[in-house]
Amino acid sequence: MTELIGISPTLLFGQLLIGLINGVFYAMMSLGVAIIFGMLRIGNFVHGAQYMLGAFGAWYLLHLPDLFPGLGLPSLNYWWALIIVPLGVGLIGAATERVFIRRVYNLEHAYGLLLTVGLAMVIEGIFNVFYGAAGQQYGVPEALRGGVNLGFMFMPLYRLWVIVAALAVCIATWYVIERTKLGSFLRAATENPELVRAFGINVPRMLMLTYAFGVGLAGLAGVMAAPIYQVSPQMGQSIIITIFAVVVIGGMGSIFGAIFTGLMLGMIEGLTKVFYPEASTTVIFVIMAIVLVFRPAGLFGKETVGHHSADISAGRPGSFLENGRLWLAVFAASGLVLPFLVYPVFAMKILCLALFACAYNLIFGYVGLLAFGHAAFFGASAYVAAHTAAVWGYPTELAILCGVAAATVLGAVFGWLAIRRQGLYFAMITLALAQIVYFYAVQASWTHGEDGIQSVPRGTLFGVIDLNNTFNMYYFVLAIFLVGFALIYRIIRSPYGQVLKSIRENEQRAISLGYSTDRFKLIAFTLSAMLAGLAGGTKAFVFQIASLSDLFFMTSADALLMTLIGGVGTLLGPVVGAVIVVTMQKELATLGAWVIVVQGAAFVLCVLFLRKGVVGTLEDYLATREERRKQAARPPDGIATAKALAEPTEPSS
């Protein structure tokens, strides 16, 4: 059969073997994510970093004499690592749950996801500081070296061991959770903790151990992966997005779905490398999009009612900080003198990213949908605008409009696929769809791969104004920012914007009033994508380059971080957040890889202590002070009563 289609049996079965090995790792990792989400309702984005900790833990144990010379410590091999490392990573997970995760159990799902994103950035950033991009080698254990000749292929013993051991772990875990009394207690503790407490069970401890067990599975997968893949700080980052796609396809929280889908998708990925190698990096995300069109809850998931995002917004309509006309005038006046106070290119970067953050806040702050894929709109617009200007010779304003059009179409398609879901599903769908765009840009010839589109000509505006002049370019960018900010203010103050806020606060009530909430959210998502594209297309001319970093996940994380620091759901917050983040990146640029650690720490601190952001916290302070002033101006109850008694009354008839 393989000869008929022109493919050698060695290639076919070799790729199937690789796909099966990847599949068992997907299954083990997805199993941990599914357990943590199913039991704790936390989207554990730090799972990839914990997988990386497992691999590094095995490497550390093997090199103990070199790491701690003079102490006489023995070198502990792979078999010791299989026992020690999962326990160690599990203990780290237990401490993480107790110190960080426990604080967000009763909050909107978005906060748990944001917290774990920040923790992942801190952990991976620290390892990146000390080890860089270079990987560490970890040899195959001596007992599992060699292989078996099956005639049509050579099967390495270690890979056979990984397949068998990983399947055994997955099946045992499924049995314990789904078929034992302990598993029933775990499920009951998440559904009705008060009832479980009545039976004398320590629910917080049970939840902590559940998180530790899920994290331990990631550590075990890391140990088993160490002899196959290089041990590097990026190994978790490269797999976690795929893992979440696997979990979404299988059904968030479905144990069996995680195992089955992980194995199935690993095999499909292997076959794709044989028949259509260019699609091997995106096939999982394409399958996810197709599945969710017909099965929004995933293959084995159940429909659940998610938390609404009303508690995310911090804006106070009556506050002067929400007066868009006032701030539009302030931005225009201060913008005129800004390039004389700071470097103009730095000022333009702030304006572009501020507009990007405002666009993101439109969907997150005013609709309550946590999106993780806005880098797709920002980057796609940058690439289209750069290409039309550099290759087709379009004038600057028309090239930016082409980029905006591409981002708008992309936003409409993404929204149509994702808008029916909420919470973690929506976040993961948008992230996975953005990954498709990213991998397309990696492989497409017109994007020039890792080099990007360079030397983008700024040209002339309307054929008259020379944009190669830095000040002319700056005022052009300022005008774009002011138009975008004014449009966002008009949207949120319009009757349409009021409907969006009602959807954010109580979608079921909005539906009962006759509003088509999906249509309203789709329009808002498309508008947000359009404005993100306006920021991306403009940025391509500011820096005269469109690169893969514009499409990378961290660009979406930057928009989220700026919004979170400034104040989600506030008009001024994203602008303040952009100023803080861009300034922080500039001032900390000399720290190199430590910048990621600082950004991750900012995520964590904002989620734990500054959920309303700078502007939201300031609004609360001003509102509290005003309330105290009004109370101080009121006469005490006793005086008011005495005055009322002293007043003459009309005689009765």
Structure tokens at 94: 């237990």
How far apart CA 492 and CA 474 sit, in angstroms, is: 27
Q: Consecutive sets of 10 residues in the chain, 653 residues long: mean pLDDT of each?
A: 56 80 90 84 89 95 86 88 96 94 83 89 91 84 85 80 92 88 74 70 84 94 92 88 88 85 91 84 86 81 51 64 88 94 94 96 92 94 96 95 97 90 80 90 91 93 91 96 96 92 87 90 96 97 95 90 90 94 84 83 88 87 82 67 54 45
How far apart CA 562 and CA 569 sit, in angstroms, is: 12
Overall number of domains in the chain: 2
Q: Are 44 and 170 contained in the same domain? A: yes
Let me know if residue 476 belongs to a domain.
yes
Structure tokens at 228: 């196959």
3-state secondary structure of 545: strand
What pLDDT is recorded for position 463?
86
What sign results for the dihedral spanned by CA atoms 106, 202, 30, 49? Answer: positive
- Nearest CA among 322, 339, 382 for reference residue 478: 339
Let me know if residue 617 belongs to a domain.
no
How far apart CA 540 and CA 396 sit, in angstroms, is: 10
Q: Are 418 and 510 contained in the same domain? A: yes
Put residue 514 in one of left, alpha, beta given phi > 0 → left and psi -120 to 50 → alpha.
left
Instruction: List b or e across 81-113, with b for residues whose CB sees 16 or more CB atoms inside 10 angstroms.
Output: beebbbebbbebbbebbbebbbbbbebbbbbbb
How far apart CA 275 and CA 262 sit, in angstroms, is: 20
Q: Are 189 and 152 contained in the same domain? A: yes
Let me know if residue 599 belongs to a domain.
no
Q: Are 398 and 346 contained in the same domain? A: yes
- Nearest CA among 369, 313, 388, 328 for reference residue 528: 369
Range of 62's domain?
Answer: 26-66+75-294
Distance of CA 264 to CAs 111, 258, 361, Å?
31, 10, 37
Q: Are 234 and 188 contained in the same domain? A: yes
As a whole number of Å, the CA-based R_g of the chain is 28
- Token look-up 């700024």 returns 458
Structure tokens at 98: 């107790």
3-state secondary structure of 156: strand
Q: Are 203 and 334 contained in the same domain? A: no
Let me know if residue 257 belongs to a domain.
yes
3-state secondary structure of 323: coil
Would you say 7 and 15 are in contact if contact means Cβ atoms under 8 Å apart? no
* Boundary of a domain, candidates 521, 552, 583: 552
Let me know if residue 545 belongs to a domain.
yes
How far apart CA 273 and CA 288 sit, in angstroms, is: 18
Let me know if residue 312 belongs to a domain.
no
Let me know if residue 630 belongs to a domain.
no
Q: Are 430 and 546 contained in the same domain? A: yes
How far apart CA 270 and CA 539 sit, in angstroms, is: 38
3-state secondary structure of 101: helix
Q: Are 335 and 289 contained in the same domain? A: no
Complete DSSP assignment for 591-639? GTTHHHHHHHHHHHHHHHH-TTHHHHHHHHHHHHHHHHHHHHHSPPHHH
Q: Are 287 and 356 contained in the same domain? A: no
CA angle 138, 141, 146 (to 5 degrees): 110
Listed in sequence order, the residues at least 6 apart from 32 whose beta carbon sits closer than 8 Å to its beta carbon are 44, 47, 214, 215, 216, 217, 218, 221
How far apart CA 205 and CA 196 sit, in angstroms, is: 12
CA angle 565, 570, 574 (to 5 degrees): 45
The pairing of strands 460-461 and 147-149 is: unpaired
Structure tokens at 187: 């499920």
How far apart CA 197 and CA 194 sit, in angstroms, is: 5
How far apart CA 352 and CA 481 sit, in angstroms, is: 7
Let me know if residue 337 belongs to a domain.
yes
Q: Are 174 and 283 contained in the same domain? A: yes
Q: Are 263 and 327 contained in the same domain? A: no
What pLDDT is recorded for position 640?
54
Q: Are 231 and 145 contained in the same domain? A: yes
* Boundary of a domain, candidates 552, 567, 591: 552
- Nearest CA among 617, 624, 438, 426 for reference residue 525: 426
3-state secondary structure of 272: helix
What pLDDT is recorded for position 646?
57
What are the two backbone dihedrals, phi and then psi, of residue 547, each rounded to the nearest 5 degrees? -130, 170
- Nearest CA among 410, 649, 401, 375 for reference residue 525: 410
Interhelix angle 344-364/374-390, nearest 10 degrees? 130
3-state secondary structure of 461: strand
How far apart CA 248 and CA 246 sit, in angstroms, is: 5
CATH number of the CATH domain containing 207: 1.10.3470
Would you say 613 and 570 are in contact if contact means Cβ atoms under 8 Å apart? yes
- Nearest CA among 80, 83, 84, 94 for reference residue 40: 94
Structure tokens at 482: 């002011």
* Boundary of a domain, candidates 552, 584, 613: 552
